[in-house]
Homo-oligomer: A and B are copies of this chain.
């Protein structure tokens, strides 16, 4: 039904083409080697010795590129889509995804992560559905949209982080007189490669009572009190039951870290670098089983320590300007710009001398931690 127009499809029933090539670690080309390789092809076999360099590198060598997407251009294209592409059942969302230039045209920001700008016109509704892929919204600017999760309307405003764990019903409606844009993050590529996705349509239109616009969601009223757990909710769900992490809280937490640092206490990651992780209040772990989400703040003129880790990240500049370096590449960035850090590529950022640089980050690290495959190192 869907066209998959952009996808460079590698799914096909095709014979394997093996060529005997001289080289270190390779058998000497010969007619009988060619004959052996023809036998491999017939039987759908491939030897390790021709593939090992690609499959088993000394350390991760990502298929993804470091790349930056400019918010101004994304925003303009999304606005144009808002004008001419309707939202409704089938297409489901007016979401436009970052397609890493070296991932074959697929809408994958990294090999495991999806990042998209979503755009909703005044009065529009995105129909209800649910899927096992974990998702979140992050709002770099604007307000006026409510996400309705299992019937609970959740306000979306600048700086808010809104997790949307797998298999929860959700819809969006724009209650304002302005369009609104935000980013969606999901583990779509991971679920795609590992083939673990389920999806269901819900109601085409949510009830009127769910289209109200409360300041605080029910989830926040139940779970949004620091260290306090409602006794009516004894279990620890695998993903966060708290549906909104508000900017006022995040901002205050980062400011507190800098204040503590100034008073001489260990509170920041490194001098000039404050950071918080969004966590599941029921178990203190990452907000969702496959996605880590954090907010980082670099003091004006400060840098973080150059580090690399297994797994990939997507960043969005929330505030300020600065320079980011991903492996060999460097860019000046400003509010809304998005960029990716592939697996095991060193990353650092420096805030401009005028103001702090706030970076929102999401990453696939929980996957590797759950499987005891995570590694990280500081480069200096």
Measured CA separation A278–B306 after assembly (Å):
38
Across the interface, A77 reaches (CB within 8 A) one of B45, B101, B373, namely B45
Which candidate, A86-94, A175-183, A316-324, is the interface stretch facing chain B? A86-94
> Are B195 and A193 in contact (CB-based, < 8 A)?
no
Surface stretch bound by B, among A139-147, A260-268, A325-333, A349-357 = A260-268
26 A–B pairs (Cβ distance < 8 Å), ordered by A: A2-B54, A6-B46, A7-B54, A11-B63, A11-B104, A16-B99, A24-B90, A25-B90, A26-B90, A39-B80, A45-B69, A47-B94, A49-B85, A56-B133, A58-B198, A60-B195, A191-B373, A221-B256, A221-B259, A224-B226, A225-B226, A228-B253, A230-B257, A231-B294, A279-B281, A289-B371
- A287 CB contacts on chain B under 8 angstroms: 227
B contact residues around A45 at 8 Å (CB): 69, 74, 77, 96-99, 107
Contact of A194 among B80, B116, B197, B367 (CB under 8 A): B367
Chain A, residues 230-247, CB within 8 Å of chain B (1/0): the string is 111000101110100100
* A229-B279 in contact (CB<8A): yes
Chain B residues lying within 8 Å of A111, measured Cβ to Cβ, are 193-195
| Complex: A73 Cα to B30 Cα, angstroms | 21
Are A39 and B77 in touch, CB under 8 angstroms? yes
Most buried by B among A40, A86, A260, A294: A40
Of A64, A86, A102, A284, most buried by chain B (CB within 10 Å of CB) is A284
Count A-side interface residues using an 8 Å CB cutoff: 166
Cα-based distance from A333 to B358 in the complex (angstroms):
52
* Given A2-B51, A8-B10, A221-B256: A267 and B33 interface contact (C-beta under 8 Å): no
Across-interface contacts of A8 in B (CB, < 8 A): 10, 14
Which partner residue on chain B sits nearest A238 by CB separation?
A: B372
Q: Are the CB atoms of B49 and A91 closer together than 8 Å?
A: yes
A3-26 near B? 1/0 per residue, CB < 8 Å: 111111011111111111101111
With both beta carbons as reference points, the residue of chain B lying nearest to A251 in the complex is identified as B225
A44 at the interface (CB under 8 A from B): yes
Interchain CA distance A84-B26 in the complex, whole Å:
11
A190 to B15, CA, bound (A): 22
Contact of A224 with B222 at beta-carbon distance under 8 Å, contacts A106-B46, A266-B232, A311-B196 already known: no
Closest-CB distance, A92 to chain B (whole angstroms): 6
Complex contact A131–B371 (CB within 8 A):
no
